[in-house]
């Protein structure tokens, strides 16, 4: 028998218990002891293996997005975008690509309730004929900070107090009082959409700005947007308490049950594009992740549909070991100089190598489904069977060659080495516009959440005053209402 013919899989299970090495186990209930009541012998290899395996079942949970649920399905192109991108999976309407999607909360632990006020992750892995494409995003179109340098501190502030392990609002308000760029994100987080009803009824966004390149080499900046066909639904605070009290995994269960019942979740994919030659025409920086692109100026363009029609087979293999990275792109899609994206390109792969090992892309959920070849080999947990004698490049004994070239952005870059902020911060305009777009009742709920947060006894008068100043600059009436209820005089 060819020892490499069968990959380890439960599909090849024998009807008898065995050890990991395949030896039969005739008693899986009793340890090997000296007599009926004597001590256990160290030579009971089956017992030692079983306990040692159990002791190592848990891998490090993700620092963020630890709590999640996954499902599989397909992406189908519905509208031609070949004039914008030479990506093979976007080549024509009707083309379908298998996908796996992971939804998640962001800040809280792996076993935390899915009803907490928190952003939601929305990550899609496309298994294309040219390799994988990971579109890693959230349910909100903007983010808290625009520079990855701030990300570790931001997460520390949002995570529980390291002394008490309790998430505390004063820490959050203290940190973000230094960063008014976060105001736009807070108009989503503290809005009604801050607690999605479940994963099926929420938007998705790529958040970062990417670049599309067509076969002629022309580039366009692009934002990706997912819109659920069943609409966006959210839980108000009192509803979340009830739902979370009954089932802390309600969103995972809803996703699983819907697919099992044939009620397949579906999203439409839209894009917005900007010609890089026109990026200076706006009062904001298009590469700033704290900003949205106005849809009345840059309309949504339909691209395709995402359908989730199959539940995962194993939660650990296809959720816990499922790994995404914004650096994983395909020809026709490239990065931009978005500062947060540039940091994520390194950070995501680095954290997966820490969690899962250097060969995490060999795991079935992460491995490409197309033929692939390189000289990366060995290392921890490398289970790929290779019998090549040549593991270097180039070689006259190995026919492997370079792939055909494909276009990448070719802008000429000049500038000094410097640490600086972007020129067009414009932190207050879009948050104010979003607040004014709501009806009176929605505005009232938003105000109530801020009054409650700013009333925390550990929020100092200085921090409270800073936030009132910020919100007054976004919208004068919002600042006045907050000041009145907090009994503080607003300052501009």
**Which residues are part of the catalytic machinery?**
65, 138
Pairing of strands 219-228, 96-105: unpaired
Hey, what's the torsion of the CAs at 433, 436, 438, 440, to 10 degrees? 170
Q: Is the dihedral of CA 386, 391, 397, 399 positive or negative?
A: positive
Report how far residue 229's alpha carbon sits from residue 78's, in angstroms, rounded to the nearest whole number.
14
Q: Is 210 annotated as a binding residue?
A: no
> Containing H/E element for 54?
helix 45-55
3-class SS of residue 53: helix
Query: Could you tell me which residues are beta bridge partners of residue 270?
Result: 225, 302
Q: What CA–CA distance (Å, rounded) separates 442 from 437?
A: 10
| Orientation of helix 250-260 relative to helix 237-246, angle to 10° | 70
What is the rounded end-to-end Cα distance, in angstroms, of the chain?
79
Q: How far apart are CA 37 and CA 326, in angstroms?
A: 57
- Rounded CA gap, 42 and 40, in Å? 7
- Nearest residue to 136 via CA among 223, 238, 205: 205
Annotated binding site for heme: 348
The annotation places the binding site at 348
């Amino acid at each position: 028998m060819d020892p490499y013919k069968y990959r380890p899989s439960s599909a090849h299970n024998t009807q008898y218990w065995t050890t990991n090495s395949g030896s039969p186990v005739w008693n899986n209930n009793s340890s090997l002891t000296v007599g009926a009541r004597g001590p256990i012998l160290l030579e009971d290899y089956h017992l030692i293996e079983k306990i040692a395996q159990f002791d190592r079942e848990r891998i490090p949970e993700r620092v963020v997005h630890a709590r999640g649920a996954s499902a599989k399905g397909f992406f189908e192109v519905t509208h031609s975008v070949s004039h914008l991108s030479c990506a093979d999976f976007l080549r024509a309407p009707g083309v379908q690509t298998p996908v796996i999607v992971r939804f998640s909360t962001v800040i809280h632990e792996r076993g935390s309730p899915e009803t907490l006020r928190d952003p939601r992750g929305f990550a899609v892995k496309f298994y294309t004929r040219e390799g994988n494409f990971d579109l890693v995003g959230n349910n909100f179109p903007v983010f808290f900070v625009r520079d990855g340098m701030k990300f570790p501190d931001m997460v520390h502030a949002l995570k529980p107090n390291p002394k008490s392990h309790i998430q505390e609002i004063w820490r959050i308000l203290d940190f973000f009082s230094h960063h008014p760029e976060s105001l736009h994100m807070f108009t989503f987080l503290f809005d009604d959409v801050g607690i999605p009803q479940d994963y099926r009824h929420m938007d998705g966004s790529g958040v970062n700005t990417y670049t599309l390149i067509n076969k002629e080499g022309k580039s366009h900046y692009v934002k990706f947007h997912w819109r659920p066909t069943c609409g966006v639904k959210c839980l108000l605070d009192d509803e979340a308490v009830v739902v979370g009290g009954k089932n802390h995994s309600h969103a995972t269960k809803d996703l699983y049950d819907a697919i099992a019942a044939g009620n397949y979740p579906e999203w439409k994919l839209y894009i917005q594009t900007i010609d890089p030659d026109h990026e200076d025409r706006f009062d904001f920086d298009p590469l700033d992740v704290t900003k949205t692109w106005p849809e009345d100026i840059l309309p949504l363009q339909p691209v395709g549909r995402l359908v989730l029609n199959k539940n995962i087979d194993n939660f650990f293999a296809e959720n816990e070991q499922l790994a995404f990275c914004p650096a994983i792109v395909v020809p026709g899609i490239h990065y931009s100089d978005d500062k947060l994206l540039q940091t994520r390109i390194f950070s995501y792969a680095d954290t997966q190598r820490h969690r899962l090992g250097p060969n995490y892309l060999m795991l079935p959920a992460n491995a490409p489904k197309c033929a692939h070849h390189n000289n990366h080999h060995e290392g921890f947990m490398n289970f790929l069977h290779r019998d090549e004698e040549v593991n270097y490049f180039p070689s006259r004994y190995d026919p492997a060659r370079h792939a055909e070239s494909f276009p990448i952005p070719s802008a000429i870059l000049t500038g000094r080495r410097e640490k600086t902020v972007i020129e067009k911060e414009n932190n207050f305009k879009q948050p104010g516009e979003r607040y004014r777009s709501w009806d009176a009742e929605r505005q009232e709920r938003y105000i109530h959440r801020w009054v409650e947060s700013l009333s925390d006894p550990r929020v100092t008068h200085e921090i409270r005053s800073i936030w009132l100043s910020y919100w007054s600059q976004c919208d004068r009436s919002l600042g006045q209402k907050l000041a009145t209820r907090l009994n503080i005089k607003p300052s501009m």
